[in-house]
Amino acid sequence: MEKKTQSIAVLGMGCAACSANVERCLRGLGGIADASVSLSTRTATVTYDPDIITLDQMKEAVGNIGYDLVIETDRDIEAEERRAFRTLVGRMFLSWGFALLTMALSMGWIDCGADRNQTMLLLALANILLCGRQFYISAWRQVCHGSANMDTLVTLSTATAFLFSTFNTFFGDAVWTSRGMEWHTYFDAAVMIISFVLTGKVLEERAKKGTASAIRSLMELAPKKALRVDGDELVETPLAALQRGDVIEVRQGGKIPVDGTVLSGDTLIDESMITGESAGVSHGVGDRVLAGTLVSKGVLRFRAEQVGSDTLLANMIAMVEQAQRSKAPVEHIVDRIALFFVPAVAAVAVLTALLWVAIGGISQLPHAILSAVSVLIIACPCAMGLATPMAMMVGIGKAAEKNILVKDATALELMRKVDAIVIDKTGTLTMPSALTAGAQAAHEQLKPHAREAVEMLQRQGISLHLMSGDSAEAVATVAHEAGVDSYRSQVKPQDKEDLVRHLQSSGHCVAMVGDGVNDAQALATADVSIAMGMGTDVAMEVAQVTLVGTDLRRLSDAVDLSRKTVRMVRQNLFWAFVYNIVCIPLAAGVLYPVCHFQISPMWASALMAMSSVSVVMNSLRLKWA
């Protein structure tokens, strides 16, 4: 049997180390040729041999390390995620209740006499069991399988603070006071760490919802129901129940539910979701209509031809989802770092404690333990893991809003480097013309805004090369009208590919823009391949980027968006790494001997939580730009 590629939802991932662990688990199973796990979309894309391994076996393997691979078709993942989010919010508020009580006791705002430490012990224990137990369960599963994630750091830090405080509560006088040493408990730190981490997760989840708005916007373009013509009656029918050949009526103000051909009616249709132009387009008998477009005037009846996943709108949604699941090259590097990050932080924490004891002796043991706790909790693999996928996800979504469909994250990353574009003429730069009375290369009209698009690309430092199989006179005329200086006529498909290779060998990063079968070779050879959305299926299948509609200004937008997205990725990675490089030494107490400054466990947990949120919020600036 041939290998299958399938995207499967994964529940339970919280940081880059989580996605890296799931990916490593899947790659280690026999029968899996390739696996890629996206933290931002919480999906695993797996290429496997069904004769060797089943989805149930994958689910069991992933479940053993603490995550849930959703292979059941009847599970409502969105409903489960909503319930999980509500549970998370509830745990956060409950944890803050415990935190405020513990803090009030610790600061002496509430007086309970000699039983103060025992009361705080009970509050901290209740907080761990009721609000933080998932951290402990996840960490235990990771340890059992020789891996670690963010939950491991939270567990180590809170358990250390809690156990040390418990020891002091019962044995502090006998061990420390008898030696003339003062002792304290740190139950408030254990409780506050869990409270801040849960708060960070809630804020992060809320912010992440904004990154998926492009997909939701596309999904909302199609109506949920349609009016199906059944004899003399109109039957309201769910979208999923429509079949090819059904006759559908759409009235003024209604959205077209599926792709098809007009049978009757003379209407104006708002096709801005395809063309970007809000002006209504006249449609009559025989014209093609597309799902998601709006009937702005009149009533029409049409025959359904593409339904369900076959419509252009469904293909657009599928392409955006696929692109958001894909990984940019830099993300693979970060994933490898994440696998070693948590063990490295644990080692630094142990070294921190040992150094403090070595420098100050046994009297520095409490300070040494607190320093180790601060190091464990302030380190944040989440920020590093989210830096690239969040920016890419928002960038791909933003592109979709501009009718630029990006097939994978690599293409979005590469577009910023493009400095030469090879462009086809007919159907790409110009509108296809009807040949009449045997008049061979009748004059073709430039597409709307074509000259403006060429000028925009030239201002971005990109050279354009027009290639066409048409006559020298026709190509020269179009090139002059469009403002393209470099052009060739009467070329064959191989000539287009040769030009792409020549430009590449000269050090250029080359994009090819085409719409026909004769462009497929050059599209496959180019660094970035771009197809026009109204072109042939072959061109769109080969291309990494599809411009839906006829507006060539989207080319310049794609380059600009790529540059902004990659700049955002670099900002995110820079601040994520700087955060860890600066904060871990401060938490360890590197400045304490000089000015008595050190980040406490509570502040460490707050900073850790906000670092992840800041990466997501920074990425969302692309959406708002």
Residues designated catalytic: 424
CA 260, CA 311: separation in Å to the nearest integer? 9
Q: Which helix (H) or strand (E) holds 149?
A: none
Q: Which of 419, 434, 403 is nearest to 532 (CA)?
A: 403
- DSSP class per residue in 534-571: TS-HHHHHH-SEEE-SS-THHHHHHHHHHHHHHHHHHH
CA 307, CA 257: separation in Å to the nearest integer? 8
CA 358, CA 360: separation in Å to the nearest integer? 6
Angle (CA) 523 524 528, round 5°: 65
Amino acid at 582: V
CA 127, CA 46: separation in Å to the nearest integer? 38
Amino acid at 289: V
Given a contact cutoff of 8 angstroms between Cβ atoms, the answer to whether 436 and 442 are in contact is yes
CA 173, CA 16: separation in Å to the nearest integer? 43
Neighbours of 443 (CB within 10 A): 11
Helix spans in 65-132 (H): 77-106, 116-130
CA 552, CA 623: separation in Å to the nearest integer? 22
466: left (phi over 0), alpha (psi -120 to 50) or beta: beta
Amino acid at 539: A
Structure-block tokens of residue 63: 């479940």
Rg of the chain over Cα atoms, rounded to whole angstroms, equals 30
CA 182, CA 173: separation in Å to the nearest integer? 9
CA 222, CA 538: separation in Å to the nearest integer? 26
Strands 510-514 and 420-424: parallel
